[in-house]
């Protein structure tokens, strides 16, 4: 299956840090289709060989056994070439068309790893020079717009050049192995489905925490913030995977139809819920792993008076029969106590207690996304009874079953970007987001953005290396629950 994969932004951070290593791993695993060519596009003036040398120098920063040895890279480098382009000039696209015409392929993938402001221009120019053929697929990186109007404008422009079946809106969280196993857990086993509803689940928590700050991306983050960067896409996609009804089959549109129903069923915001159920924060200077780190406003590229949020916690509900009344909590932030992402399904207590359960403990299922990848099922069990003590009045102890996917299936499993790139090359849309999903997510998020634009309080400060502002704990405590680390 001969293909050309074109990276617009081919000298950028995402390409060398994520996309090229993912393609190399597919090459190493022998899952990258044969007959491929990878074309980097950028403004710098360089030859194919210079581009290969640049990628090789970046690969030297890859840690451990994922770094290619010289012989491996030499074979992989034979796939790489480079085209210099100014994306604002039509004549540059003619040069790309000429390079693509050098050989016959089954399909061409255009991966837009650029600023979203360039998406419309690139798609219009691709159409103008005839590069939007039926065998072309286009991949769009997030963020796709900064609000509903800009998202619609981008989708409209892309839709004029390409059919929906040719458009792959990527969300790398959907490629994570643990998220794939979430679908398998729910729809490939009979064990949990009878319990996956309001009668048995007390609350669901989604946490996506990072120890790092904004690093060198302060300028980008100033115009984005945690709500746009993490909640509107990653968090809501995870929520959909948890809450969606079983699709009629495993086809892309069947899955995306059910996710769309969840987004449409999310409770709409009111002035009261916006004030009480949405918390924004911003990290201040502190210590992380014994090292002093600056506050957000001291980061390069950040305004000293910035009101950009680096933390969001919110509470929402889904207005349908399965989930009515069950609170869903989402929190995400930078410079937090640890780097981890997980989903916690907290079950209701037994309807009639005949044992003494541990205080504050509940049965729960924890789905770990990073850095650990696996499942934990938390139960109660009775240990050895003391002499003279019968079962009545015995105290239960918490125990858990731990399934580590890396240990069970091997640590060389397919990574998120590797899986998604292979799906693009195969034309599988299951793990990609449809335009109406994106619009519905923006429609739900926009009232929060409008509320913040008139809110005089601003983001609440939290010390770097903690779990965010105390208002986040107060929000969940009003329902009688707490975050997992607070038990």
Annotated binding residues for NADP(+), written as ranges, equal 43, 86-87, 142
From 107, 156, 234, 352, active-site residue? 234
Q: Which residues carry a binding-site annotation for substrate?
A: 172, 176, 210, 229, 334
Chain centre distance of CA 98: 36
Chain centre distance of CA 368: 13
Is 234 considered catalytic here?
A: yes
422 contacts 26 by C-beta, under 8 angstroms: yes
Half-sphere exposure of 472 (CA within 13 A, CB side): 26
Distance between CA 483 and CA 330 in Å, rounded?
A: 10
SS (H, E, C) the chain: CCEEEEEECCCCHHHHHHHHHHHHHHHHCCCCCCCEEEEEEECCCCCHHHHHHHHHHHHCCCCHHHCCCHHHHHHHHCCEEEEECCCCCHHHHHHHHHHHCCCCCCEEEEEECCCHHHHHHHHHHHHHCCCCCCCEEEEECCCCCCCHHHHHHHHHHHHHHCCHHHEEECCHHHHCHHHHHHHHHHHCCCCCHHHCCCCCEEEEEEEEECCCCCCCCHHHHHCCHHHHHHHHHHHHHHHHHHHCCCCCCCCHHHHHHHHHHHHHHECCCCHHHHHHCEEEEEEECEEECCEEECCHHHCCCCCCCCCCCCEEEEEECECCCCCCCCCEEEEEECCECCCEEEEEEEECCCCCCCCECCCCCCCEEEEEEECCCEEEEEEEECCCCCCCCCCCCCECEEEEEEEEHHHHHCCCCCCHHHHHHHHHHHCCCCCCECHHHHHHHHHHHHHHHHHHHHCCCCCEEEECCECCCHHHHHHHHCCCCCCHHHC
Q: Which residues carry a binding-site annotation?
A: 43, 86-87, 142, 172, 176, 210, 229, 334
Catalytic residue IDs: 234
């Amino acid at each position: 299956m001969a293909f050309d994969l074109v990276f617009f932004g081919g000298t950028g951070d995402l390409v060398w840090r994520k996309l090229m290593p993912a393609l190399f791993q597919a090459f190493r695993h022998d899952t990258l289709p044969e007959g491929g060519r990878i074309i980097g596009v950028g403004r710098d003036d360089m030859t194919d060989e210079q581009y290969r040398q640049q990628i090789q120098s970046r690969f030297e920063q890859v840690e451990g056994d994922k770094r290619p040895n010289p012989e491996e890279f030499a074979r992989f480098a034979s796939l790489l070439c480079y085209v210099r382009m100014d994306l604002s000039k039509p004549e540059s696209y003619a040069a790309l068309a000429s390079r693509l015409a050098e050989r016959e392929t089954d399909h061409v993938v255009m991966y837009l790893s650029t600023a979203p402001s360039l998406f419309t221009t690139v798609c219009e120019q691709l159409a103008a020079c005839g590069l939007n053929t039926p065998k072309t697929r286009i991949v769009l990186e997030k963020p796709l717009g900064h609000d509903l109007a800009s998202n619609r404008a981008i989708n409209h422009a892309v839709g004029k050049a390409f059919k929906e079946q040719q458009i792959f809106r990527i969300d790398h969280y959907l490629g994570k192995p643990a998220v794939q196993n979430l679908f398998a857990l729910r729809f490939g086993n009979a064990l949990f489905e009878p319990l996956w509803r309001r009668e048995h689940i007390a609350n669901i928590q989604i946490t996506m925490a990072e120890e790092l700050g904004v690093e060198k991306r302060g300028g980008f983050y100033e115009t984005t913030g945690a709500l746009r960067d993490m909640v509107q896409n990653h968090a809501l996609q995870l929520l959909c995977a948890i809450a969606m009804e079983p699709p009629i089959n495993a086809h892309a549109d069947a899955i995306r139809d059910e996710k769309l129903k969840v987004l449409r069923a999310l409770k709409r915001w009111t002035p009261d819920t916006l004030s009480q159920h949405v918390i924004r924060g911003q990290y201040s200077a502190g210590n992380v792993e014994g090292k002093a780190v600056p506050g957000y406003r001291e980061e390069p590229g950040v305004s000293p008076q910035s009101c950009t949020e680096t933390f969001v916690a919110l509470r929402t509900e889904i207005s349908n029969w399965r989930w009515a009344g069950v609170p869903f909590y989402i929190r995400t932030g930078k410079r937090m106590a640890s780097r981890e992402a997980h989903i916690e399904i907290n079950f209701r207590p037994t309807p009639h207690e005949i044992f003494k359960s541990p205080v504050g403990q509940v049965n729960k299922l924890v789905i770990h996304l990073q850095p650990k990848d696996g499942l934990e099922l938390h139960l109660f069990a009775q240990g050895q009874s003391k002499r003279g003590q019968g079962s009545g009045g015995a105290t239960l102890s918490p125990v858990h079953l731990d399934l580590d996917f890396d240990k069970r299936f091997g640590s060389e499993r397919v990574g998120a970007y590797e899986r998604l790139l292979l799906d693009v090359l195969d034309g599988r849309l299951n793990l990609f987001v449809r335009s109406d999903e994106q619009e519905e997510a923006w429609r739900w998020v926009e009232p929060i953005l409008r509320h913040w634009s008139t809110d005089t309080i601003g983001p609440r400060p939290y010390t770097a290396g903690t779990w965010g502002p105390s208002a986040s704990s107060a929000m969940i405590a009003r329902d009688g629950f707490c975050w997992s680390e607070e038990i």
